[in-house]
Amino acid sequence: MKGKGHADAARVAVVGGGSWGTALANLLADKGYPVDLWVYEPEVRDQIETLRENQAFLPGVTLSENLRPSNDLDAVISEKDLVLLVVPSHLMRHVVMQMRDALPADAVLVSAAKGIENDTYLTMSGVIREVLPGIRDDRLAILSGPSFAREVARKVPTAVTAACKDPAVAQFVQAVFSCPYFRVYTHEDVIGVELGGAVKNVIAIASGIIDGLGLGLNTRAALITRGLAEARRLGVQLGADSRTFSGLSGVGDLILTCTGSLSRNHSVGMKVGGGMRLKEILAEMKMVAEGVKTARSIYFLSRKIDVEMPICEAVYGILHEDVSPMEALSRLMGRSLKDEFDGWAA
């Protein structure tokens, strides 16, 4: 089992060379860790090696000399104490399957991906557990919270949560990632932290739709508040600690993604609200907006376990069933009246 005292000597790999993976890899490299970064695209590897910049996904940020990019996944993860997974949620299963043979038996896996897998309705820890059956609780952690990659890369003060069922491992992850501008708190509620990070992306699309329609701040405030209620209802039903949704990975991440101009999910929503079709929006995007696929997962998961999530249902209808934004809004506002805390389980 890893402990906090081992953090300074940890051997670290980052799997995923998008904006968030690159920002976190650079944070660790700036702390002095020799960081091996797996990137899929040979041109991204070349950019980082020769220019010390990820021009494709994090342009304008000079990367540490301690950051070593590679397209060889086995070489990147072998003999590592901590492997950070920062790949799109729909690729998590495929990437972890590729890692199975080279992954050290005692390495701590940290997922920084936010989403719920289509078809299985598993969170990322669930996907990892299915691909790596028998993985111990002291080998699997989640890193989540309100954090835009570009701001972390600029060393803007940021606070996130490291969750693991083993408190000692959460403290190990906390020690590895914490630095003067990146404060990490610990928590034991893995499923709650994951669900907060997944649901907020769907609510952020709804927030963007509101802005794209030219509606007001009243509407956005109501959306964020009721969206939080939906995330909490889903989480409690799946065994999460209700307090988690009042924390960084819950309301904190929700506020950031629903209001921040750097949010890809909010941007997708704005374009939908402005009249663009989803297929056109996705065709012009280089980076992934997780909420698009997660909207489908949450819609079917909530129906399967009988959890009321009307905002997420509305987003699913708009994105995947051609319901017009104004029709979806009318349905939401016309629902039967009720007590605000109806169904608010402890």
Three-state secondary-structure class, residue 65: coil
The mean of the pLDDT values for the chain is: 95
Chain segment 96-137, per-residue pLDDT in tens: 999 999 999 999 999 999 999 999 999 999 999 999 998 999
* Burial per residue of 41-78, b for 16 or more beta-carbon CB atoms within 10 angstroms, e otherwise: eeebbebbeeeebbebbbeebebbebbbbbeebeebbb
- For residue 74, what is the domain's CATH number? 3.40.50.720
- For residue 245, what is the domain's CATH number? 1.10.1040.10
DSSP 172: H
Q: How far from 221 is each of 263, 307, 312, 333, CA to CA, in Å?
A: 17, 22, 16, 14
Catalytic residue among 31, 200, 271, 293: 200
Strand ranges (E), the chain: 12-15, 35-38, 67-70, 82-85, 108-111, 140-144, 158-163, 182-187
The interaxial angle of helices 264-273 and 290-304, nearest 10 deg, is 80
Number of domains in the chain: 2
Statement to judge: residues 280 and 144 lie in one domain: no
Tell me what pLDDT residue 285 has. Answer: 84
Range of the domain at 286: 192-333
- What's the pTM? 0.95
200 noted as active-site residue: yes
Statement to judge: residues 32 and 161 lie in one domain: yes
Statement to judge: residues 156 and 203 lie in one domain: no
Binning pLDDT at 50, 70 and 90, where does residue 342 land? confident
Cβ partners under 8 Å of residue 127, min gap 6: 92, 93, 96, 117, 120
Task: Decide if 340 is inside a domain.
Answer: no
Statement to judge: residues 76 and 148 lie in one domain: yes
Statement to judge: residues 58 and 199 lie in one domain: no
- How many degrees, rounded to 5, is the angle at CA 73 between CA 113 and CA 290? 20
Structure tokens at 167: 């408190």
Task: Decide if 292 is inside a domain.
Answer: yes
Chain segment 274-300, per-residue pLDDT in tens: 999 999 999 888 787 899 999 999 999
